[in-house]
């Protein structure tokens, strides 16, 4: 049964990418409210479910004896995830600015597009891999994980369509779906099953990437509107659900 739940979860997340750009169909008057509430929900799950698990993940990694002098393995993995997400976003904004200054429509260059896609494909593959482990409490209950990550994907897709235009619709979203499904399929192969330490590092990388990806939506350029009240309400309501249905920090073993 856990296999079925995991499979449905990854298909639902893939379906969100397949419908990339759907946010643009929401009336402009309420779009900032919806986007901010979605970001609040995602950040609530991140800080109440995934982040509290990092200390436990660190104990798991230390138990394997991996690089014993390093001491902060999972936090380094989270930092790497955040730095990569920051680098990709910075390159995208710089490329769009250069295109606008050259009289274009503010679309990224081809090289920046592929850099961005590479970063998000790795991120998606990590999520797919984590979903493949039915014993991993970090992604259960599945419905909480799917809501939080699905809304995160929805916001990311909106940003990627804005940055890369039609290229993302024609090519990019399908590559992200491929990364998600590939990560899940690899995770289902026993020979490629990571031990507790490996999975802990994967989840830590996801946490770091999510921090940057969420904040870039709520601290946008001045031309975009956000709704702080909707962000706070989304975080509060979903936070209550997380505490009720997933009250304990995840343990990877």
In a domain, 26, yes or no: no
Question: Across the chain, what does the average pLDDT equal?
Answer: 83
pLDDT digits (tens, 9 = 90+) for 200-246: 788 888 888 888 887 776 555 545 567 888 889 999 999 999 888 87
Question: In the prediction, which pLDDT does 105 show?
Answer: 84
On whether the CB atoms of residues 149 and 13 are closer than 8 A, the answer is yes
Tokens describing residue 137: 């409490």
pTM: 0.83
Pick the closest to residue 250 from 134, 133, 130, 137 (CA basis).
Answer: 137
Cα 149 from Cα 160, distance rounded (Å): 16
**Structural domain that includes position 101:** 2-12+34-245
In a domain, 21, yes or no: no
- Per the structure, the count of domains in the chain is 1
In a domain, 69, yes or no: yes
In a domain, 141, yes or no: yes
Cα 218 from Cα 227, distance rounded (Å): 9
In a domain, 41, yes or no: yes
In a domain, 252, yes or no: no
On whether the CB atoms of residues 132 and 186 are closer than 8 A, the answer is yes
Question: In the prediction, which pLDDT does 182 show?
Answer: 94
pLDDT digits (tens, 9 = 90+) for 180-211: 999 999 888 876 666 667 777 888 888 888 88
Cβ neighbours for 219, distance < 8 A, ≥ 6 positions apart: none
Tokens describing residue 162: 């804005």
In a domain, 19, yes or no: no
In a domain, 17, yes or no: no
pLDDT digits (tens, 9 = 90+) for 58-77: 887 877 666 666 678 888 98
On whether the CB atoms of residues 117 and 176 are closer than 8 A, the answer is yes
């Amino acid at each position: 049964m856990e296999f079925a739940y995991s499979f449905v979860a990854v298909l639902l997340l893939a379906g969100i990418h397949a419908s990339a750009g759907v946010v643009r169909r929401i009336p402009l008057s309420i779009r900032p409210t919806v986007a901010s509430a979605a970001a609040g929900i995602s950040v609530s799950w991140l800080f109440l479910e995934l982040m509290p698990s990092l200390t436990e993940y660190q104990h798991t990694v230390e138990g394997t004896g991996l690089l014993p002098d390093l001491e902060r393995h999972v936090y380094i993995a989270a930092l790497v995830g955040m730095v990569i997400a920051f680098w990709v976003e910075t390159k995208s904004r710089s490329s769009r600015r250069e295109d606008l200054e050259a009289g274009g429509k503010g679309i990224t260059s081809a090289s920046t597009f592929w850099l961005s896609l590479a970063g998000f494909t790795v991120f998606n593959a990590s999520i797919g891999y984590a979903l493949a482990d039915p014993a991993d409490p970090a992604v259960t209950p599945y419905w909480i994980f799917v809501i939080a990550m699905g809304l995160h994907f929805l916001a990311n897709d909106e940003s990627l369509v804005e940055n890369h235009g039609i290229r993302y619709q024609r090519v990019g979203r399908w590559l992200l779906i491929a990364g998600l499904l590939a990560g899940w399929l690899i995770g289902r192969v026993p020979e490629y099953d990571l031990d507790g330490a490996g999975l802990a590092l994967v989840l830590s990388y996801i946490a770091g990437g999510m921090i940057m990806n969420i904040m870039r939506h709520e601290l946008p350029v001045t031309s975009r509107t956000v709704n702080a009240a909707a962000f706070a309400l989304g975080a509060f309501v979903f936070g209550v659900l997380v505490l009720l249905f997933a009250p304990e920090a995840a343990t990877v073993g």
